[in-house]
Amino acid sequence: MFPNDAIDPINYFIIWAKSLKQNIVAEAKPNNKGGLFFCITDYIHDKILLNVKINTDISLTPNDYKFDIREISPNKLIWRYDLHPGHPDINQRGHHVHVGPCEEDRRATEPVTLEDMGGLIGDTLAGKWNPNKIPFLKLPEYNGKAPVDTAIRCGSNKTKTGEPCKQPRPDGTTCGWRGH
């Protein structure tokens, strides 16, 4: 998440946040796990809200994170990069992205850095973010269910296990996951 040469991670985070917007409201403080908690909830454009939460352990390794960017009116997700348990069907490591506008369109990702997120936020504000460029990770079989050959999942439970899901996705494709 942080560069190896970041001597002062709190200051690094504040400088990173201000690179997104000069008067952004950013917070960094110790957490109850011996690590640090970083937070931003602020508008970064007229109708775009950025919500960032990062919890680290003492070595600055993230235990969990959320980078959420959405349109405010109407409340519509653009994307959210997360690290947390709860989606074992996607990725045992927990790193994933929700591709808007559907909160349930989840794809496994590699771990992200602040530099990665700064670039994605900039691309999003410039209208250049393209969900079709998110690489899909090949995933193993999950608990004996049908093999998952992409990290796409729409969250629907409307199909029988083994049949490809036909839930439409924003990019014009369908979910195709066989594990519902």
- More confident call, 68 vs 140: 68
Please determine, for residue 153, whether its predicted confidence score (pLDDT) is greater than 60: no
Number of domains in the chain: 1
Instruction: Classify residue 90: in a domain, yes or no.
Output: yes
- More confident call, 91 vs 16: 16
Q: Which domain does 92 fall in, by range? A: 9-133
Instruction: Classify residue 96: in a domain, yes or no.
Output: yes
Using CA atoms, how far apart are residues 125 and 70, in angstroms rounded to an integer? 11
The values of phi and psi at residue 162, to 5°, are 100, -20
Region class of 128: left (phi > 0), else alpha (psi between -120 and 50), else beta: alpha
Instruction: Classify residue 116: in a domain, yes or no.
Output: yes
Across 17-138, the runs of DSSP E, i.e. the strands, are 26-30, 36-45, 48-56, 62-71, 76-83, 95-99, 106-108
Instruction: Classify residue 146: in a domain, yes or no.
Output: no
pLDDT at 85: 73
How is the beta sheet containing 62-71 ordered, strand by strand?
26-30, 36-45, 48-56, 62-71, 76-83, 95-99, 106-108
Instruction: Classify residue 92: in a domain, yes or no.
Output: yes
Instruction: Classify residue 35: in a domain, yes or no.
Output: yes
Which of the four pLDDT bands, split at 50, 70 and 90, describes residue 158? very low
- pLDDT per position as a tens digit, 101-141: 877 778 888 888 899 899 999 999 888 888 777 655 544 43
Instruction: Classify residue 107: in a domain, yes or no.
Output: yes
pLDDT at 144: 38
pTM (two decimals): 0.73
Instruction: Classify residue 178: in a domain, yes or no.
Output: no
